[in-house]
Every structure is written in C-alpha cells, then in structure tokens.
Amino acid sequence: MVNQKRTVFYLSDRTGITAETLGHSLLTQFDGIEWNTINVPFLDDIEKAHNVTRQINEIAECEDHKPLVFSTLLNPEFLEIIKQANCRVFDFFEAFICPIEEELRLPFARMAGRSHGLQHHLSYFKRIAAINYVLAHDDGVNPKSFEEADIVLIGVSRSGKTPTCLYLGLQYGIAAANYPLTQDDMQVMQLPKVLQSARAKLFGLTLSAAQLHFIRQERRPNSTYASLAQCQHEIQWQESLFRQYNIPHLDTTRISIEEISATILNRCGLRRQLYG
C-alpha cells in the first residue's frame, strides 16, 4: 500500500554505487513509500552541482516534500552547494569520517573513486581471471580443470548455478565452476564420476519443485522437462544424493543471488573480498 510518493537523489563524484547501496538499504526499511529515484554519478563540476540543486528545488516545490539526498561527494564545495537546496542531505563520509580519523590518528585522503576504482591491479586481474574461469567452466564444460576451482556448484537444470557462479566470480573473484546433474546421472544413485575428484569443493543448489516447475515453464512451456512431476522427481533425487555423499547444499527457493553467494562463502570458509 503506497501512502507517500517521495524522491531520492544519489549523488557521487564517481560511480554512485556506494551511495545507492547504502541509501537503498536504509530506504527498504520503510514501507508504504513509492520512490522516484534520481542517480547523479560523476558529479564532478560546479555547474552539475548547480543543476542538481535546481532540480531538487523544483521537485520539492512540486511534490510538497523535501527530496532525500544520499551523498558520497568528497568535494566539500559541491556538497555545500547541494546543502543550500530544499532537501534533507545524508552524507556518508561526514557521518563517519571524523570518528575514524580520531581512532586511526590519520587524516582521510578525500580522493574520489577509491572504492570502486582500479586501486589494486593485481587483485583486479585476479577478478578478471575468475570471470574467465567461470565462463570457461559453465554447465559442465572442462571438468578436467575443476582442480583449479575454488568451488563447484552442482544441481539439476535451472537450479540457479550459472547466475550464482557469475556473481561469485564478478563480485568476489572466486573461480566457481558448475556441473549439471542430468537424467543420465539419475539412472544410478551415484555421483557423476567426473565430480569424484572434486568432492571437497562440491556445493549443491536445490529449490522447491514448485519453483523449479515455474522457472522451467518459462523456458519450455508444457514440456515433460517442465512438468511438476518431473521437477519433483529430480529434486527428490538430487537431495538424496546430497545427503548420501554428505555434500553441503542450500535451498534457494526464497533467497537472492546475493544471499546464496554469501551463504556459500560463509559455509565453505572461502575468503571473501568484495569488488562491487
């Protein structure tokens, strides 16, 4: 139920990812508001600051509510200009930098683009290598080089292996392979041979048969492949397999790619380094 319409601005000297991530997590805690979101990344000259100020004032007048402004602006001059507008500014650096400076006994650098920029070439190349690894080891391709994998996700078709591997590679630099469990494997209650040497790296993705049915219907409507009976059969089979071989696994029915990935890293004790 929508009770209010409000506008939120995300202002940043660079990508705006930090401002948006932080503002989004605050605003999702409030129900009943329809948000009009305006992103202003790369706010790097005074004219842009004045333009945004005008836009804020126009919206404030039109909506009869102050827009909320989440800022990671590092340029104090631009931030001052924005603060003159008819809005409520939440500045992330202002809120935290002083007590951190005090604790570390160091001044902060006030350099834009450090959080999502190219600070560390080596770890950046590790990330690109991880993405390439994921693409080269999707859907059971190249199982011979699973020994280089950090993790190998397994599960039946459409259980969410590929998006999760991509997220692990892109956001965390994890070399994530995946291997589909198929009809052929189901003939025998046995782990596919090619996975046996990667036993310690296996992680299973499962979900409710109803959800799997829904997802497969989108792909191949009214096929045997998508039928609820087939989905029930495959899910039952794979969950028995996971238990039989003591493979850690996760029910992904109600959780997002971010939650699946964070859970896998946590349960497998993989070192995480957030890039995004």
Residue list 231-270, contact with a copy of itself (CB under 8 A): 254-259, 261-263, 266
Residues numbered 124-163 forming contacts with a copy of itself, rule: CB under 8 A: 124, 128, 131, 135, 138, 162-163
Range in contact with a copy of itself (rule: CB under 8 A) among 50-58, 114-122, 179-187, 227-235: 114-122
256 is in an annotated binding site: no
161 is in an annotated binding site: yes
Stretch binding a copy of itself (CB under 8 A), from 29-37, 76-84, 148-156, 222-230: 29-37
Tokens of 212: 């799997």
Confirm or reject binding of residue 111 to a copy of itself (CB under 8 A).
Answer: yes
> Tokens 């770890």 correspond to what residue?
123
162 appears as a binding residue in the annotation = yes
Question: Any binding-site annotation on 159?
Answer: yes
- Residue 63: phi and psi, rounded to 5, are -90, -15
Asked whether the beta carbons of 40 and 11 are under 8 A apart, the reply is yes
- Please tell me whether residue 64 binds a copy of itself under the rule CB under 8 A: no
Angle between helices 228-244 and 209-219 (to 10 degrees): 130
The DSSP result for 130-198, as a single string, is HHHHHHHTSTT--GGGGGG-SEEEEEETTSSHHHHHHHHHHHH---EEEEEE-HHHHHTTS--GGGGGG
Tell me which residues in 68-107 interact with a copy of itself (CB under 8 A).
68, 72, 88, 90, 92-93, 95-97, 99-100, 103-104, 106
- Give the position of tokens 């292996």: 161
Contact call for residues 81 and 22 (beta carbons, < 8 A) = no
Q: How far is the CB of 163 from a copy of itself (least distance, A)?
A: 5
Answer for which of 44, 55, 113, 251 binds a copy of itself (CB under 8 A) is 113
157 marked as binding residue: yes
Binding site: which residues? 155-162
Binding site for ADP: which residues? 155-162
